[in-house]
Amino acid sequence: MAAGAIPATKLAYFDNMWAVQATATLLSHLETEDGRRALILDSTIFHPQGGGQPADTGFISGAASGFKFVVEDARLKDGLVYHYGSFENPQDDCVSIAKEGEEVSLYINPQRRDLNSRLHSAGHLLDICIRKMGLSHLEPGKGYHFSDGPFVEYKGIIPPDLLQIKSKELEKEANALILAGGKVSAPVLSYNEAAECCGGVLPSYIPTDSAPRIVKLGEHPGCPCGGTHVADIADIRNLTADAPHTNGMP
Ligand SMILES: [Zn+2]
């Protein structure tokens, strides 16, 4: 099937963020413009890279033909999730053993997903702490939830002599909240419900006619998010705040 004719991939992790195995239907098996092999399914539990969260890895196997496709990367483009990788047995690729319409089984790497979810939830927890500490004047920007140095960017000013102290306070506050725990959920809500859940207002990039997905950590205010998260704040386990990197005084 040509990519343009394929219906949007259902993001199954919206319904269940913790499923690491699932079945789906193979809709397309293609070589992309950059020469990579990709599988497109009707639905997926693989989180494609985006929103500061890395892609899931794992594998997809064909129920009837028996192929095994190792997924090294997943990306969302025009509503379709491209699972990039290669066939474990190169011969499977030569004869295109994977058949469109075939039922496939999906397995994601659970350790990698768990780490990604912990790092992503920790990013949202930091945001909650910033507000609790009376630093709401800091405007949140980019979140980077990769394991090689995760951070959340804020725009605003903290006097340089307070940076270290605030960083330690932040770490203390975050670890107290982790210790207290609290259920994490990420429902898709109507715009008005979502706004209420997020403390009354939604960021301007959320269209008013949309149904945003909101991540909610315990009883703290929610935040629009498309990522995967831990089931309980306690599952973040611990958080260490590095000295903040600053861009200097304006
Ligand atoms: Zn998020």
Report the separation in Å between the CA atom of 226 and the middle of ligand 1, taken as the mean of its atom positions: 6
pLDDT tens per residue, range 34-53:
889 999 999 999 999 999 99
**Ligand 1 mean position to 214 CA, how many Å?**
9
Which of 52, 73, 108 is a domain's end point? Answer: 108
What's the CA-to-centroid distance between 237 and ligand 1, angstroms?
18
Owning domain of residue 226? 113-236
What global pTM score does this model have? 0.92
- Report in angstroms the alpha-carbon separations of 224 from 76, 207, 232: 18, 12, 18
Based on the domain organization, do 118 and 227 belong to the same domain?
yes
State the CATH number of the domain containing residue 10.
2.40.30.130
pLDDT tens readout for residues 43-89: 999 999 999 999 999 999 998 888 999 999 999 999 999 999 999 98
Please report, for residues 128, 141, 152, 206, the alpha-carbon distance to residue 155 in angstroms, rounded to integers and kept in the order given: 16, 7, 10, 20
Alpha carbon of 186 to ligand 1 centroid (Å): 10
Report the domain count for the chain: 2
- Whole-number Å distance, alpha carbon 63 to ligand 1 midpoint, is 34
Cα(171) to ligand 1 centroid in Å equals: 19
Separation of CA 51 and ligand 1 centre (Å): 6
C-alpha 228 to ligand 1 mean position (Å): 8
Domain boundary among 52, 79, 108: 108
Distance between Cα 116 and ligand 1 center (Å): 11
Tell me whether residue 249 is in a domain: no
Cα of 225 from ligand 1 centre, angstroms: 4
223: exposed, middle or buried (Cβ count in 10 Å: 0-12, 13-18, 19+): buried
- The 10s digit of each residue's pLDDT in 195-211 is 999 999 998 999 999 99
Q: List Cβ neighbours of 239 (8 Å cut-off, separation of 6 or more).
A: 122, 125, 126, 171, 174, 175, 178
Q: Does 83 share its domain with 152?
A: no
Question: What are residue 43's DSSP bridge partners?
Answer: 10
Q: How far away, in angstroms, is 98 Cα from ligand 1 center?
A: 34
Weakest mean pLDDT among 128-132, 156-160, 239-243? 239-243
